[in-house]
Structure 1
């Protein structure tokens, strides 16, 4: 067989070591292990990085709103723009942020489809150097963000009132300008509503969209729109180009979640070079908006892309090892596609590969949503081993976020003590945030304490035992190891090479005997194995096996790959009768090794 090979790197964002609170977290495709560590001391960037969105045209007919927003920001008061979809909130935010950048430090972030916890992590990484591998506790996060002085511009913020409250509490030193559909900011600042346009502004907007004055028939439609920006934009919202329709179908599938241009091109099946002109056409006629949160659909669409197909495309993309920043951008898209796909095999595959990538990128909000959706798919499909994986990971997540749960309870615990203190002679009580003891005296505990916080003892980390009282640290209750090989793998002459990652899990005490991989079955000669593995793969290490399919006659072919103590992996290949065999272009994947280490970030100089 012609062994032309190209070396690529996989798993770049599926495995790694991060620090979450006081825990060192090792994540890979097999599962997550946790051990105690000392939190790093990230160095603050002064001034914070000014994250600005691209330049856009000035909004039409919004002069009064612009003056009101600038007046409030000059007075260092929070402002919230609110109005229906398509009324130009994102356009106004981009215009204001560019104007404010001449006098203030400006940080522009989009919440489009994100969990508010992940939005705050975005802000932390914008303000501190080498923060990409560290996620502080909520208490430490507030201390890190309190000295930041900037105008924080938030687009597509959710309509949950608690989200804006979380942001204002965490970034207390920032002046926040946000955009939402329904007003959620009340006593903490001023809300500015975006309403319908005046007749003069309506004509100006239509003239801009059409690139010419409207005809008499179009003028009648302008009057019928009564100043509604979406209705005015729909006057020119027609397209017959297949590439345009593909983009619109994908955006309709995402249901309002923003998507990066590169990922949108991948999901729509168009060339990357074609994406920019296609989006420019769609934006000009008002069908899409391109802003800091990516590309959004501006008007409802009748056709929706296949969720199963999108899930498969995203899973393949994640296996190719995208950069961490690309995974961060894609997090809300992954959640949206999983939600749309429902409990299907494609959704299960996407959730399984997305979970470690999202943990590695420290987007714990999206990670939790993917784990829940993956567990539901595994439960419906009857995949008990996959369900065990998701349930263990959810236990790990609950343990990592236990400090947040405690932070909502500490006042409930201490309030009775504060009331009783004068009666029992407590004297002064030293109060501190749970799990954040920097600079605080060590608190004593008694048998009558109303709440007990379980801590992880030092030692060898373990991966998700089943003991509900200590789901991480009890090494005697670990479930059986997950299968190293998938149950089956299909190939054809279009995709005649597949790479399978093999990860030795912590439960493989003696390692995985990868040198004993064997190929058999009735059609074994048309398949070939090329392992890039040692004879024995030690726990925590990974390698890759490349499988080739090289049939020369039409037919259905079947073989098996066996590994000691593992179920066999069934290989299947199909050559259609009308298809001429094509010499394969092979791909060899170098191994990726995951080592349990403690990630450190330089202390301030």
Structure 2
């Protein structure tokens, strides 16, 4: 193993101190120490600090998509572009972000290869001064981001639906414009497919790239491409320059992950001064896209750079002490190279030097991936000392992240005791059951199995913390030992109406600070005379801890004309009345519509 130093110096001092949640974290090459602390003060910046992506020509043949995106953003609705790689989604995002900057605050981030937690840290640092050395807990992060009002532009979002849901939940005050290969945005907004170009647009694209009208032979190739942008670009481009090929091979190794121009030059083995012109050449002909998140390969490549060589290059680079922002940019590249290299000696050396650098940069998602990959390499190579380091650091990481769910785990243990208390004689736990009267409908856990729901009586005191107030002043101020919590606002709206056949509505549920025991969303129940025509699908845990939120989707499936009524019940909450109307004059099955009812978070 490489043992050049006992500490790694990044930007003058990788051996430094950061705050993660309520923990003071001292990190260096030998290991990490953790102790309790008070979170630092941060101040929100207005407007947020974000570089707009470079100005480019308007996309060819995408007028309809541009109109659709602007219409949704004007209405403050989330929108997602989705389609295959190389179809121009990034170009559309850059064009729209430039246009929106004249009327909105715009934050441009790339999600390429990033863990969603690291993406949210990017957003936090863009919106707050003093955030570079502080990683708040998810609940605090949500409070910090709630007052931010901006168009949040996210390129290269993952194809995991939970990632876009996490972003929408954390940045609830932002209107999100994202791009991904697969559609992951459903009920929360509109998805716009980016598909093949029309014959006219295909000719225009080839003409633009060639700088002249296509020849008869090229016209036949245009027809054969059938509107596929990558196929059209291949007609107009040939790559013979060795520098171009080196850059493409490195980007192919990274598998779609973005790389800064400076780091790309290092990995490709070309001069720094030559890198920008090479990237500009490749971008002009559509081989790559370049933005604030780095350079990305836009079309498939046949040749791939050596992962072992790239790992060695990154290891040497990290030992030179790059600045923290450079490490932040490089985090997805490091993970991609480690993954491609496999359990080799080169990968082990890279993981060992990268781990403290990523912790110091507060990219805990990438840090965790590097620790796992490093442990795997050390185990297979028989490096017991290095394996002990990675396993110890993984335990430290578990400790740092345990605060995220500690309260939720506590109440998951306590909740069954509350339910069983009446059966074992705890008279001080007064529980009540709803009665089937004209004024209150009986509810059931499913639409087809009527039953009862146990509820806590209204006004039962809780033991949760007081509202933390404005996160920009004191997000984690001291809490008195004895508090009287104000009554919580209703979790569910009083009513929800459906007036379109096969309508779908989604409502967010937010556990407020006054919900000391959390919100038992696992006990949501649907009942009432017409429950069979409604379907309740919560995307929620059994218990929602204070500061957390989730989404409940309700489907209205009635087709026969008439008025329909049901209700959704939740313990200790007044029921939400569902009403649906199907008129005889309406089309039997009109297109599905989706709307979102937003419940403002108190405070």
Same fold (TM over 0.5): yes
Matched position secondary structure for 2:154: strand
Equivalent-residue separation in structure 1 for 2:320 and 2:82 (angstroms) = 40
Q: 1:296 deviation in Å? A: 1.1
Please tell me whether the aligned partners of residues 41 and 602 of structure 1 are also in contact (alpha carbons under 8 angstroms). no
Deviates more, 1:509-518 or 1:372-381: 509-518
Q: 1:7 to 1:362 in 2, by over 3 A?
A: closer
Q: 1:144 to 1:336 in 2, by over 3 A?
A: same
Q: What are the Cα deviations for residues 404-435 of structure 1, in whole angstroms up to 9, with x where unaligned?
A: 24366466446546657899999999999999
Equivalent-residue separation in structure 1 for 2:228 and 2:39 (angstroms) = 52
Q: What are the Cα deviations for residues 40-66 of structure 1, in whole angstroms up to 9, with x where unaligned?
A: 121111232243111111111111111
Q: 1:298 deviation in Å? A: 1.6
Q: 1:570 to 1:459 in 2, by over 3 A?
A: closer
Deviates more, 1:398-407 or 1:310-319: 398-407
Q: 1:400 to 1:222 in 2, by over 3 A?
A: same
Equivalent-residue separation in structure 2 for 1:319 and 1:550 (angstroms) = 61
Q: 1:31 to 1:276 in 2, by over 3 A?
A: same
Please tell me whether the aligned partners of residues 434 and 452 of structure 2 are also in contact (alpha carbons under 8 angstroms). no
Q: 1:401 to 1:61 in 2, by over 3 A?
A: same
Q: What are the Cα deviations for residues 337-357 of structure 1, in whole angstroms up to 9, with x where unaligned?
A: 001111111111100000000
Q: 1:338 to 1:13 in 2, by over 3 A?
A: farther
Equivalent-residue separation in structure 1 for 2:531 and 2:422 (angstroms) = 82
* Higher normalized contact order (CA 8 Å, seq sep 6+, divided by chain length): 1
Q: Which residue of structure 2 aligns with residue 126 of structure 1?
A: 126
RMSD: 26.7
Q: 1:346 to 1:487 in 2, by over 3 A?
A: farther
Please tell me whether the aligned partners of residues 555 and 574 of structure 1 are also in contact (alpha carbons under 8 angstroms). yes
The answer to whether structure 1 residue 509 and structure 2 residue 480 are counterparts is: no
Please tell me whether the aligned partners of residues 41 and 604 of structure 1 are also in contact (alpha carbons under 8 angstroms). no
Q: 1:165 to 1:537 in 2, by over 3 A?
A: closer
Equivalent-residue separation in structure 2 for 1:319 and 1:558 (angstroms) = 67
Matched ranges for 1:71-470 at <5 A: 71-406=71-406, 409=409, 412-413=412-413, 415-416=415-416
Q: 1:288 deviation in Å? A: 1.4
Q: What are the Cα deviations for residues 285-336 of structure 1, in whole angstroms up to 9, with x where unaligned?
A: 2221112321111221111111111111101111101010000000000000
Q: What are the Cα deviations for residues 514-557 of structure 1, in whole angstroms up to 9, with x where unaligned?
A: 99999999999999999999999999999999999999999999
Please tell me whether the aligned partners of residues 7 and 28 of structure 2 are also in contact (alpha carbons under 8 angstroms). no
Deviates more, 1:448-457 or 1:338-347: 448-457
Q: What are the Cα deviations for residues 217-273 of structure 1, in whole angstroms up to 9, with x where unaligned?
A: 000010111111111111123111111111111111111111000000000010111
Q: 1:522 to 1:283 in 2, by over 3 A?
A: farther
Matched position secondary structure for 2:596: coil
Q: 1:479 to 1:9 in 2, by over 3 A?
A: farther
Equivalent-residue separation in structure 1 for 2:337 and 2:73 (angstroms) = 37
TM-score for the superposition, normalised by structure 1: 0.68
Please tell me whether the aligned partners of residues 49 and 107 of structure 1 are also in contact (alpha carbons under 8 angstroms). yes
Q: 1:363 to 1:424 in 2, by over 3 A?
A: same
Q: 1:494 to 1:322 in 2, by over 3 A?
A: farther
Equivalent-residue separation in structure 2 for 1:494 and 1:6 (angstroms) = 67
Equivalent residue pairs, number? 596
Please tell me whether the aligned partners of residues 445 and 526 of structure 2 are also in contact (alpha carbons under 8 angstroms). no
Please tell me whether the aligned partners of residues 342 and 377 of structure 1 are also in contact (alpha carbons under 8 angstroms). yes
Equivalent-residue separation in structure 2 for 1:480 and 1:57 (angstroms) = 55
Q: 1:166 deviation in Å? A: 0.6
Please tell me whether the aligned partners of residues 50 and 106 of structure 2 are also in contact (alpha carbons under 8 angstroms). yes
Query: Which contiguous aligned blocks of 4+ residues in structure 1 show a shift greater than 6 angstroms?
Result: 1-11, 420-584, 594-605
Equivalent-residue separation in structure 2 for 1:282 and 1:200 (angstroms) = 24
Q: 1:287 to 1:380 in 2, by over 3 A?
A: same
Q: 1:83 deviation in Å? A: 0.5
Q: 1:12 deviation in Å? A: 3.1
Q: Is there any run of 5+ residues in structure 1 with no aligned partner, and where?
A: 585-593
Q: 1:131 to 1:530 in 2, by over 3 A?
A: same
Q: 1:501 to 1:55 in 2, by over 3 A?
A: closer
Please tell me whether the aligned partners of residues 91 and 291 of structure 1 are also in contact (alpha carbons under 8 angstroms). no
Matched position secondary structure for 1:119: helix
Please tell me whether the aligned partners of residues 207 and 214 of structure 1 are also in contact (alpha carbons under 8 angstroms). yes
Q: Which residue of structure 2 aligns with residue 573 of structure 1?
A: 580
Please tell me whether the aligned partners of residues 532 and 545 of structure 1 are also in contact (alpha carbons under 8 angstroms). yes
Q: 1:247 to 1:512 in 2, by over 3 A?
A: farther
Q: Which residue of structure 2 aligns with residue 600 of structure 1?
A: 598
Equivalent-residue separation in structure 2 for 1:580 and 1:352 (angstroms) = 64
Q: 1:160 to 1:494 in 2, by over 3 A?
A: closer
Q: 1:323 to 1:221 in 2, by over 3 A?
A: same
Q: 1:70 to 1:499 in 2, by over 3 A?
A: closer
Deviates more, 1:20-29 or 1:451-460: 451-460
Q: 1:507 to 1:261 in 2, by over 3 A?
A: farther
Equivalent-residue separation in structure 2 for 1:499 and 1:419 (angstroms) = 29
Please tell me whether the aligned partners of residues 551 and 575 of structure 1 are also in contact (alpha carbons under 8 angstroms). yes
Q: 1:195 deviation in Å? A: 1.1
Q: 1:422 to 1:74 in 2, by over 3 A?
A: farther
Equivalent-residue separation in structure 2 for 1:514 and 1:449 (angstroms) = 19
Q: Which residue of structure 1 aligns with residue 506 of structure 2?
A: 499
Deviates more, 1:491-500 or 1:288-297: 491-500
Equivalent-residue separation in structure 2 for 1:571 and 1:6 (angstroms) = 64
Deviates more, 1:4-13 or 1:123-132: 4-13
Matched position secondary structure for 2:172: coil
Matched position secondary structure for 2:577: strand
Please tell me whether the aligned partners of residues 338 and 350 of structure 1 are also in contact (alpha carbons under 8 angstroms). yes
Equivalent-residue separation in structure 1 for 2:434 and 2:317 (angstroms) = 39
Please tell me whether the aligned partners of residues 378 and 384 of structure 2 are also in contact (alpha carbons under 8 angstroms). yes
Q: 1:147 to 1:442 in 2, by over 3 A?
A: farther
TM-score for the superposition, normalised by structure 2: 0.69
